[in-house]
Structure 1
Amino acid sequence: MAQLSYSSGTSDVPLLGDTIAGDFDRAVAAHGEREALVECATGRRWTYRELAAEVDAVAAGLWASGVRVGDRVGIWSPNRAEWVVVQYATARIGAILVNINPAYRVHELEYVLRQAGVRTLIAASSFKTSDYAGMIAEVRPRCAALRQVVLLDGPEWTELHSADLPEWPELSADDPVNIQYTSGTTGFPKGATLSHHNILNNGFFVGELCGYTHEDRICLPVPFYHCFGMVMGNLAATSHGACVVIPAPAFDPAATLKAVADERCTSLYGVPTMFIAELADPGFDSYDLSSLRTGIMAGSPCPVEVMKQVVERMGMSEVSICYGMTETSPVSTQTRRDDSLDRRVSTVGRVGPHLEVKVVDPEHGRTVPRGTPGELCTRGYSVMLGYWEQPDRTAEVVDAARWMHTGDLAVMDDAGYVTITGRIKDMVIRGGENLYPREIEEFLFTHPDVLDAQVVGVPDAKYGEELMAWLRMRPGTTPLTAEAVREFCAGRLAHHKVPRYVHVVDEFPMTVTGKVRKVEMRRQAVEILGLADEARTDSGAADRA
């Protein structure tokens, strides 16, 4: 009988049963004089003891202002030290931190404030072209629950600090501590509600698999408002007594490379597009990256060639691939430090400690044999409490047995390693053939002139859908035409997998976290190719998220 696509993560290390504040207190007691946080843009530094004092002062200030256990406190800011302080201060008093995407504008801000019932909003005054203070002033009259606004660059932030520490409330590790809004591609985003137990353990075990100790220094160019920054970064660091290094308020390849070199970082995080930008930076060879040992690449599939360069040119021999989603705190599978390069470039690793994963037939839900594609599901301590005040939406993705249905297509091999082949909604059906964009993207990436490739489905009157490749070219090369791509694919890729359309761009439409927005690419493709009529008769390709 064939082995089923199911795997559970065994571990000799038990789950942490404490709250985030309890775990942080232990780190302060053990590593009080070690550096905990560095902000490169301002040169500010905190030891664990100094950071704890700042966290307690802000927690006391929030408590004095009337914030209580379960109240929602919003944070709307690019990466900065105060973001970290607010994360741990709200956890200290049992408030629920609501992460607000720095790219949001008035409409989205108002929705989140109202949907989560945010009581206190802590925000940057502005950043680049974003006038946060102005947008807050516009929506505040329409947000009944919002009683307090604290601008990080104004006197309100200083006034929030209090030296009069209250008796901290008793909390449970199962209490909600964080709401993160997942990217909404149709309708409004949903607020994944996460507990102390969810995110503290996920950060801890991600750090365990990276081999973190108090000697590590983790460079975080990824946004704090997302799990990548605040869980896999901040919580992985503090649960091991390591140091968080903030290279810049928003991703900047040169600033990131400089931070790694100046601060002797041992670990670097990023989505593939960030590593591509760093490797392509004109001054790359001038930075001493010899301190790097490990890091995490996640968020979207990593092209094989990029991973090879990260290992060879950046020295990240133990770099880890992580896979997950906000609703699972986020990591479900991860490659190990001793995995071969082939494992790290072709899979997203094995199930994490104390978790379960399985691959099921999307139609009937039964677990499929290993080697058979299907939908990846995960279960365990990491699965969210639910979408904030949306039990119906929760029930759509978390089944009665507490399995989280990811919507991702995957294959599990005989050793339990998982390969993500695409999103169920990204799969292109051309003339009845199921086509998986990632396979085609990996092939196009082998073209010497291609810097990056993304493939989407576009509506077609004859086949239902056709393939369109969006390409970014290497500097100084000639843009590829559809004919040139067909010639490159000839005899090497099945004819039905060869993109019919080719579109060369300088940049892909991106989310603030660096993920490619394929839904936006499909919408633009309909206009670029003049396929409005086809889109009306076959809306699937244009509307899928």
Structure 2
Amino acid sequence: MSIGYLKETTVYNVLVEQEKKIPEKTAYIFPAEEKEVTYKELLNDVNRAAKALLSLSIGRDSKVAVWSTNSYAYVILMFATSAIGAMTVPINTNYKKNELIYALNFSDTNILFCTKEYRKNDFEEKIFLLKDDLNFKHIYITNHEKNNHFPNFDDFLSLSEKVSEDDFSKAKSMVTIDDIFCLQFTSGTTGRPKGALLSNFSAINVGRQFANLMVLNATDVLITPLPLFHCFGNIDVLLSALCAGVPLVLINYFSPLKVLDAIEKYKCTSIYAVPTMLVAMYEHEKFNNYDVSSLNKGVIGGSVCLPKVSEDISERFGAKAISIGYGTTETCALAIASYCTDRRYNRMFTCGKVLDFMECKIVNPDTYEECYENIPGELLIKGYNLMKGYYKDKEATDKVIDSEGWYHTGDMAIREHEGLIRITGRYKDIIIRGGENISPSEIESEILTLDGITAVEVVGIKDEKYGEEIAAFIVADRSCKYSDSDIREHVRNTLAHYKVPKYIFYVDDYPKTASGKIQKYLLARKGEKILGLYN
């Protein structure tokens, strides 16, 4: 069931193809907006948005940032940027002030679109208060009502009238398959997020591959609560629906009951989510009030999923063809997976096999010699799905992609029989909690600003629900007057909520190698022993 070949095209051009073939078919559904759009309607709005961008001198290589929940405007913008060779810069809706300013200014954003509000947080007001700290002037709100400070999305679309069809055609003709589809931020070991550059060519072919894995057909209806600021959502899921020509229900932001209601209402057949979302749904007291019998398949990704959890998900939802996939931001969130028709062991106890037109190998991280079957080593990936590099960071790029084009994932894996890959741990200093990549050094830097704390090491401790939880091991002197709750509140006020440590331990020193390097894995093991999670 290979995809057969790699398609040399852009995301926008595939939308044009689908509009020609199935113009009246529903493309995307937005329950929160009570809106369903056909391919014909979508392409018309995408073209208007692309011309509106051009009217503001936003064109090839420009950066279009979106700080928003999932919405029709978000989808329009992702396709519109592809039409003119600009790139979308998805911004995490959980970012606090300093994180937001850094992401927008570091990415050289030219224009920002943001939601009016999110979970009772007034995003428009937040942007207004920090606008003088930003290096750009164009700001629009993705709603349709009159706003307090900035024009709305209808005001933006009306600018399309200033650009002729000839000028639009000329702009489209300059776009190549290697132009960047999105600049995707990912947490790094050095603290500051890095911007992975993902091309149109990589993105659309990963979308094709994802659709092929799920054996999607005309009767399927997809659903995802994944945010479009993650590439699992904005590439794998969004574009697989496009490539297969099947409807995708996009939940504006995760809420168990919102998703369950939509599954029942639209009779969704396939779901894509991180494990914590699915667990939260079936553990909800009202789960049995909803009819989810239409579901028959789905993909779990973005975070560690224990076999017991994947089995529980499959059983509770009645979806027999649940698969666990593997990918990173640098690989467009897809590199290894199973077909939904594969046998149960492949789908639920391993990540599957490396996919078409990609390669993987497992090597000893010290000698780089390839490991034998069932011997753990570092997973390396090579193929069309790899990022072009990190934006404005050649040094970081060269550290993870070697001279032969192999991407060093930092993940520990073993190769089983028949080429099946199983992830067993991590060499890289990154915590993955509930699908969010978290840099320990970023949290460490914030905690170290507190008087009396002389050293801190942050690690991930295994957790059945979230995959990993955050633990801080602190060395403090007698002058430290901060309680655990004070420390958590300090982190909560400066960083996104999911970066707050659940566990805080006080130690006198850290385990070290002979050369003096701190052995974080031993700290994690110590925390797990204290919590009764490790024998």
Match of 2:362, SS state, is strand
Q: What is the distance in 1 between the residues matched to 2:496 and 2:263?
A: 20
| Cα distance per residue 1:421-477 (max 9 Å; x no partner) | 01114799xxxxxxxx99x96xx96xxxxx77757888699xxxxxxxxxxxxxxxx
**Aligned sequence identity (%):** 29
Q: 2:77 aligns with which of 67, 86, 90?
A: 86
Q: 1:35 aligns with which of 4, 15, 26?
A: 26
In the TM superposition, what is the alpha-carbon distance from 1:530 to its structure 2 partner? 2.4
Q: What is the distance in 2 between the residues matched to 1:420 and 1:208?
A: 23
Aligned to 1:23: 14
* 1:408 and 2:411 are equivalent in the alignment: yes
Match of 2:244, SS state, is coil
Aligned to 2:139: 149
Comparing 179-188 with 407-416, greater Cα deviation is found at: 179-188
Contact 1:334 1:351 in 2 (8 A): yes
Mapping 1:367-516, distance limit 5 Å: 367-425=370-428, 454=468
Q: What is the distance in 2 between the residues matched to 1:240 and 1:262?
A: 22
| Cα distance per residue 1:156-204 (max 9 Å; x no partner) | 3112112554224221111112100002454210000110011111111
Amino acid in structure 2 at the alignment position of 1:242: V
Contact 2:275 2:466 in 1 (8 A): no
Amino acid in structure 2 at the alignment position of 1:314: F
TM-score (norm 2): 0.80
In the TM superposition, what is the alpha-carbon distance from 1:141 to its structure 2 partner? 2.2
Match of 1:178, SS state, is strand
CA shift in 2, pair 1:291/1:212, >3 Å: same
Q: 1:328 aligns with which of 327, 331, 337?
A: 331
Contact 2:113 2:140 in 1 (8 A): yes
Q: What is the distance in 1 between the residues matched to 2:246 and 2:496?
A: 23
Aligned to 1:48: 39
Amino acid in structure 1 at the alignment position of 2:197: T
Stretches of structure 1 that go unaligned for 5 or more consecutive residues are 1-9, 429-436, 446-450, 462-508
Aligned to 2:316: 313
Q: 1:304 aligns with which of 295, 307, 317?
A: 307
CA shift in 2, pair 1:452/1:198, >3 Å: closer
Amino acid in structure 1 at the alignment position of 2:315: E
Amino acid in structure 1 at the alignment position of 2:108: G
Contact 2:189 2:429 in 1 (8 A): no
Match of 1:319, SS state, is strand
* 1:531 and 2:522 are equivalent in the alignment: no
CA shift in 2, pair 1:48/1:351, >3 Å: same
CA shift in 2, pair 1:49/1:127, >3 Å: same
CA shift in 2, pair 1:457/1:70, >3 Å: closer
Q: What is the distance in 2 between the residues matched to 1:458 and 1:149?
A: 38
CA shift in 2, pair 1:427/1:201, >3 Å: closer
| Cα distance per residue 1:474-521 (max 9 Å; x no partner) | xxxxxxxxxxxxxxxxxxxxxxxxxxxxxxxxxxx9xx999x86xx54
Mapping 1:231-242, distance limit 5 Å: 231-242=235-246
Q: Give runs of ≥4 in structure 1 deviating > 3 Å.
A: 425-428, 451-461, 532-540, 542-545
In the TM superposition, what is the alpha-carbon distance from 1:543 to its structure 2 partner? 12
Aligned to 2:110: 119
Q: What is the distance in 2 between the residues matched to 1:348 and 1:52?
A: 36
Q: 1:366 aligns with which of 364, 369, 380?
A: 369
Amino acid in structure 1 at the alignment position of 2:155: E
Aligned to 1:58: 49
Aligned to 1:280: 283
In the TM superposition, what is the alpha-carbon distance from 1:42 to its structure 2 partner? 2.3
Amino acid in structure 2 at the alignment position of 1:148: H
CA shift in 2, pair 1:338/1:213, >3 Å: closer
In the TM superposition, what is the alpha-carbon distance from 1:312 to its structure 2 partner? 2.4
In the TM superposition, what is the alpha-carbon distance from 1:93 to its structure 2 partner? 1.2
Q: What is the distance in 2 between the residues matched to 1:19 and 1:36?
A: 18
Aligned to 1:224: 228
Match of 2:201, SS state, is helix
Q: What is the distance in 1 between the residues matched to 2:195 and 2:371?
A: 31
Q: What is the distance in 2 between the residues matched to 1:97 and 1:57?
A: 16
| Cα distance per residue 1:201-260 (max 9 Å; x no partner) | 11110111101123321111011111111111110100111111023x211111111111
Contact 2:95 2:496 in 1 (8 A): no
In the TM superposition, what is the alpha-carbon distance from 1:79 to its structure 2 partner? 1.3
In the TM superposition, what is the alpha-carbon distance from 1:72 to its structure 2 partner? 0.7
Q: What is the distance in 2 between the residues matched to 1:538 and 1:379?
A: 30
Q: What is the distance in 2 between the residues matched to 1:530 and 1:538?
A: 19
Match of 1:323, SS state, is coil
Q: What is the distance in 1 between the residues matched to 2:473 and 2:64?
A: 43
Contact 1:237 1:244 in 2 (8 A): yes
Q: What is the distance in 2 between the residues matched to 1:321 and 1:398?
A: 25
Q: CA RMSD in A?
A: 3.0
In the TM superposition, what is the alpha-carbon distance from 1:135 to its structure 2 partner? 2.9
Q: What is the distance in 2 between the residues matched to 1:130 and 1:210?
A: 37
* 1:160 and 2:156 are equivalent in the alignment: yes
